[in-house]
Amino acid sequence: MILSLRGRQAAPPRSCLQCGTEPARPDATICRRCGLRIGDPPSASATLPSCPLCYKTVDDDGRLDSLANSSLRVDILSHIAEHDRFPVGDDEFLESMRRGDRIRIGRWDAPFDVVRRYLVTGAVEAGRNRAMQHNAVVTAMAQIGRWGSDTPVIGDQPEWREARAAVTSLMERYHFRRA
Ligand SMILES: [Zn+2]
Ligand SMILES: [Zn+2]
């Protein structure tokens, strides 16, 4: 065990700390993708790997706090594996509403990735994409993000209200934990 960020213990990495690639062989010492020695801290200029499930990016030491043990620091692949026991939400349910790269919500649909990211992080990035800005679900997510789900919206429209209710119940359903 090596001491890592904030004095925590660092678990032996399963992947390159800089790019998150898993070594081709267990005895490999150099990352085949970025050339860094396995276990070495990332360079300051590197784009660090993010978790596709909770969207967190590793810290400067190339690791995240373990979900199972808060005194332990783990690499990205170990972190992703921990989601088996510590799921972000009910992704099985969410996948059942998926149609290709879209998700069906009530009488609307929206890009699946945008909706899932919103359910996990509470943030929606419609950016300058006009189609996204005019999507009822995306509008509802942005409104809830800005004002919460209970505040009356100025110039409110029945369709927005309905879409907000659909998004709010989806959020509750996604994070519902079966006892
Ligand atoms: Zn690498
Ligand atoms: Zn994660």
Q: Report if pTM > 0.75.
A: yes
CA–CA gap between residue 14 and residue 25 (Å, rounded): 11
Q: Which ligand is nearest to the CA of 121?
A: 2
The answer to whether the CB of 38 falls within 8 A of the CB of 44 is: no
Residue 155 has a pLDDT of: 87
Residue 44 has a pLDDT of: 93
CA of 18 to the centre of ligand 1 (A): 5
Q: Which ligand is nearest to the CA of 32?
A: 1
Which residues have C-beta under 5 Å from ligand 1, the single-atom ion?
16, 18-19, 21, 31, 33-34, 36
CA–CA gap between residue 47 and residue 45 (Å, rounded): 7
Strands (E), the chain: 2-3, 9-10, 64-65, 72-74, 98-99, 102-105, 108-111
CA 179 to chain centre: 24
Q: Which ligand is nearest to the CA of 77?
A: 2
CA of 121 to the centre of ligand 2 (A): 11
Q: 84 pLDDT exceeds 80?
A: yes
Could you tell me the pLDDT band of residue 179, with boundaries at 50, 70 and 90?
very low
Mean pLDDT, residues 117-134 taken together: 83
| CA atoms 53, 55, 59, 65: torsion sign | negative
pLDDT in tens, 27-66: 899 999 999 999 999 999 999 999 999 999 999 999 999 9
